[in-house]
């Protein structure tokens, strides 16, 4: 344990119920720009544990979330001005182990919190108290809501114009955010079609209310949509890109809306893109009075707190399945410890996950939790 020099803070830097805060920690750092996550990211063993400022919390991370866009971040696609080394990981759940004086007005040591902030792939992260979300307990299910759940909730609410009887197509429906798009569209009394890559995923989708599943490995998506939905679909929640985007676009109904929340098929390419048949796009949209809308969560932060509050309430009531995939079925087993983040990213890009991929960070310190 290190001495705290500023004594005005000292009583707030309580060591956690008998387990002291170490002076160094492990964290993942982007040391080279690359869309190849293993090339771009380095595990540092002895980074200093950061000190929280006056309005900050020091959170000991217990669960961190894996996102398709972790690769975009390590490739420097979000902010070209940022140069390595920089911290990575977007979201975490853990407990407050120390905090600044102002932050102590609303938080206490030992409190469970979640957050969305760059730098979660670390044993400890400093989080501004204003950005933290208090939780009833440290549960990985809450992590599924922070980026994935909020993306589905806000995009469908703001851009989807869902109403009873509308036909909604969700691509990568059994993934981290697809699972919520399916359930939220069902709550809006829509007819939901979900694409996935295995019968096991199809079974999961049926269990959360999907009306028609399409396993694109064994069925032709285009012909299923043409034969079963000759009038087209009203809304598409699209995160795959490439050929799937083209299929989805062609299957839109008159006045249909396609919401792009990502295009994972292209993220591992040097450009981050996969080719689409864009030449005929204006004609296709005009012919159907259809529209394409992009959705990036950072542009909708004004809606975030309200969305998260509603999602947390549904999760607590058991009205929302928040499926977590710890990689138990992956070749080397459960994703445990920061070193397994690399495997977890590979697992996502192999299309193996059902639900949100989460990595658990065990703590060897003498915690009495």
Are residues 188 and 80 part of one domain?
no
**Number of H helices and number of E strands within the chain?**
12, 16
Are residues 183 and 133 part of one domain?
no
Are residues 54 and 34 part of one domain?
yes
Are residues 244 and 355 part of one domain?
no
Are residues 278 and 339 part of one domain?
no
Mean pLDDT of 301-326: 97
**In this predicted model, what pLDDT tens digit does every residue of 162-218 receive, in sequence order?**
999 999 999 999 999 999 999 999 999 999 999 999 999 999 999 999 999 999 999
Q: What is the pLDDT of residue 184?
A: 98
Contact at 8 Å (CB) between 236 and 256? yes
Residues pairing with 58 in the sheet: 98, 126
Question: Does position 366 have pLDDT exceeding 90, yes or no?
Answer: no
Q: Is residue 369 part of a domain?
A: no
Are residues 125 and 178 part of one domain?
no
List of residues 6+ apart from 147 with CB closer than 8 A = 65, 67, 90, 91, 116, 176, 177, 297
* More confident: 6 or 25: 25
| CATH number for the domain that contains residue 102 | 3.90.180.10
Are residues 334 and 275 part of one domain?
no
Question: Does position 1 have pLDDT exceeding 50, yes or no?
Answer: no
| CATH number for the domain that contains residue 242 | 3.40.50.720
Q: How many domains does the chain have?
A: 2
Are residues 285 and 163 part of one domain?
yes
Q: What is the DSSP string of 183-234?
A: HHHHHTT-EEEEEESSHHHHHHHHHTT-SEEEETTTS-HHHHHHHH-TT-EE
Q: Is residue 132 part of a domain?
A: yes
Q: Is residue 2 part of a domain?
A: no
Round to whole Å and give the CA distance between 172 and 235. Answer: 15
Are residues 274 and 162 part of one domain?
yes
Question: Does position 6 have pLDDT exceeding 50, yes or no?
Answer: no
Are residues 157 and 290 part of one domain?
yes
- Closest by CA position to 167, among listed 180, 182, 157: 182
Q: Is residue 304 part of a domain?
A: no
Range of the domain at 130: 16-138+323-360
Are residues 253 and 332 part of one domain?
no
């Amino acid at each position: 344990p290190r001495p705290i020099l500023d004594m005005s803070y000292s009583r707030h830097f309580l060591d956690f119920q008998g387990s002291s805060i170490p002076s160094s920690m492990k964290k993942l750092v982007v040391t080279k720009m690359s869309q190849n996550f293993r090339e771009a990211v380095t595990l540092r063993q002895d980074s200093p544990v950061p000190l929280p400022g006056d309005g900050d919390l020091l959170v000991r991370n217990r669960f961190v979330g894996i996102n398709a866009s972790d690769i975009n971040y390590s490739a420097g696609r979000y902010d070209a001005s940022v140069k390595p080394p920089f911290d990575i990981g977007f979201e975490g759940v853990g407990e407050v182990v120390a905090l600044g004086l102002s932050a102590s007005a609303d938080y206490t040591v030992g409190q469970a919190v979640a957050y969305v902030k760059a730098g979660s792939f670390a044993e400890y992260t400093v989080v501004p108290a204003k950005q933290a979300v208090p939780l009833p307990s440290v549960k990985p299910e809450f992590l599924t809501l922070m980026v994935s759940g909020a993306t589905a909730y806000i995009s469908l609410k703001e851009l989807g114009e869902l109403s009873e009887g509308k036909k909604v197509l969700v691509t990568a429906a059994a993934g981290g955010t697809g699972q919520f798009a399916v359930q939220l569209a069902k709550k809006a009394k829509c007819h939901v079609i979900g694409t996935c890559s295995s019968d096991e995923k199809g079974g999961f989708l049926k269990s959360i209310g999907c009306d028609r599943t399409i396993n694109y490995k064994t069925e032709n998506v285009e012909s299923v949509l043409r034969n079963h939905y000759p009038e087209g679909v009203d809304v598409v929640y699209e995160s795959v890109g490439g050929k799937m985007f083209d299929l989805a676009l062609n299957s839109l109904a008159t006045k249909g809306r396609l919401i792009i929340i990502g295009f994972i098929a292209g993220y591992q390419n040097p450009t981050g893109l996969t080719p689409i048949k864009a030449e005929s796009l204006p004609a296709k949209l005009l012919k159907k009075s259809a529209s394409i809308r992009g959705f990036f969560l950072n542009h909708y932060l004004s809606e975030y707190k309200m969305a998260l509050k509603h999602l947390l309430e549904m999760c607590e009531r058991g009205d929302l399945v928040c499926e977590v995939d710890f990689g138990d079925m992956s070749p080397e087993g459960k994703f445990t410890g920061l070193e397994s983040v690399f495997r977890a990213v590979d697992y996502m890009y192999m299309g193996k996950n059902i639900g949100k991929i989460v990595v658990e960070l065990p703590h060897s310190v003498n915690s009495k939790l």
